[in-house]
Amino acid sequence: MKIRLGYVAISKTLNITTSHTITYTNYKKEKNKEEKLYEIIDKNLTNLEEILMYNIRNNIHFYRMSSAIFPLATHPDIEYNVLETFKKRLEKIGKVINNNKMRVDIHLDQFCVLNSVNKDVVNSTINIIKFYKNMLDTMKLKTYMIMHVGSNTFGKINSISRFINNFNRLEKDTRKMIVLENDDKIFNIKDVLYICKKTKIPMVLDYHHHKCNNDNIKLEEYLEEILKTWDITPKIHLSSPKNQKEFRTHNDYININDFVELETLLRKMNRDIDIMIEAKEKDNALFKLVRELKYKGYKFIDDTTIEIKFDK
DNA sequence: CGTGGTCAAGCGGTA
DNA sequence: TACCGCTTGACCACG
């Protein structure tokens, strides 16, 4: 079995970002509003292209796009069809991704709360989901949007059924593009797995969140079921705590012990896995982990792919 | 230059 | 009750 490693949004090595933005307040002050927006988006897309080339050069097969490439794209008071304007560009980027068989996905922001008790929040969340679906469709990427279950208002049972109800309001094609992740405070792996089985949503396991929020539930007992929610290679998120006191906060790097713990469970599963490194040092953290794993004796097929022996 | 205040957006936890 | 962190922390005014 193989484990591939990926990273999120920013390359620290290249030192470029695809999240250049403008706030609504400053946007309103601009003389050439549209021009200003397009300039920012153009910069973001150029940097995205550069990051993708960097990923290809370094055999990184697995990457999460920023959700801030198109500033203000879903703002209620701004009318602009950004996806139409940048269609050619997005198609080209999509082609690069597909031609190189790279797995690229996206994570919805924290204010996308599908099960909110506030109707306006739900509606804007649905709008945002539609926007990203259109974006991914424009790029011709067969991939997913990752999100959390959301709010806990009126307790878990109510909150879970709110999620399922609102999820079912989405169109069928859109529903197929949603992936759920266990969070670090409320919805643990058991809760999320329950929803995922009911709705046929694939489940991303976040190992660090599980450590933060587990109610003494053992991952061993659920891991196989979690992986089964995927038709394709399952995806797992890995990060390390900043320190004991600020446990929930992400560390700059990955503690190799966290990887080894997780990998020890995974090697009993006999499935290829994609592990996304979520560390503040981004690709640097990924490569640091790779160096340490090699030193420890892990066998690598290429720069970021580990060969693991199935171990019952 | 570096830095502190600000920014469209939700939510729960912590001091 | 106000801030923090998640999220992707970037921009801008000021010194």
DSSP states along A207-263? HHHHHHS-TT--GGGTHHHHHHT-SS--EEEE--BS-STT-SSBPSS--HHHHHHHH
Note the pLDDT of residue A300.
97
Note the pLDDT of residue A271.
94
Protein residue closest via CA to C1' of B13: A185
Note the pLDDT of residue A199.
96
Protein residue closest via CA to C1' of C9: A19
Extract the tokens encoding A152: 């806990």
Give the 3-state DSSP-derived string for A85-114, with helices as H, strands as E and coil as C. Answer: HCHHHHHHHHHHHHHCCCEEEEECCCCCCC
- Taking a C-beta distance cutoff of 8 angstroms, is the pair A34, A80 a contact? yes
CB atoms < 10 A from the CB of A76, how many?
10
pLDDT tens digit sequence for A54-71: 999 999 999 999 888 998
Note the pLDDT of residue A249.
76
Task: Determine which of A18-32, A108-122, A149-163, A250-264 has the lowest per-residue pLDDT on average.
Answer: A18-32
Note the pLDDT of residue A174.
95
CA distance A75 to A56: 34
CB atoms < 10 A from the CB of A26, how many?
10
Note the pLDDT of residue A217.
93
pLDDT-above-90 percentage for chain A: 72
Among the listed residues A156, A136, A158, A154, the one whose alpha carbon sits nearest the alpha carbon of residue A146:
A136
Smallest CA–C1' separation from A153: which nucleotide?
A: B11
Note the pLDDT of residue A78.
84
pLDDT tens digit sequence for A157-214: 999 999 999 999 999 999 999 999 999 999 999 999 999 999 999 999 999 999 999 9
Report field, pTM of the whole predicted structure over 0.85: yes
- A219: exposed, middle or buried (Cβ count in 10 Å: 0-12, 13-18, 19+): middle
Protein residue closest via CA to C1' of B11: A151
| CA-CA-CA-CA torsion sign (A225, A226, A232, A235) | negative
Distance A212 CA to B10 C1' (A): 20
- Taking a C-beta distance cutoff of 8 angstroms, is the pair A238, A277 a contact? yes
Smallest CA–C1' separation from A151: which nucleotide?
A: B11
Q: Return all residues near A78 (Cβ < 8 A) that are at least 6 apart.
A: A24, A27, A72
pLDDT tens digit sequence for A109-160: 888 999 999 998 999 999 999 999 999 999 999 999 999 999 999 999 999 9
Query: Which nucleotides of strand B lie within 7 A of protein CB?
Result: 6-13
- pLDDT tier at A33 (50, 70, 90 boundaries)? confident
Smallest CA–C1' separation from A8: which nucleotide?
A: C8
- pLDDT tier at A80 (50, 70, 90 boundaries)? confident
Extract the tokens encoding A110: 């924290």
pLDDT averaged over every residue in chain A: 92
Distance A85 CA to B14 C1' (A): 45
Extract the tokens encoding A302: 């290429």
Distance A25 CA to C6 C1' (A): 24
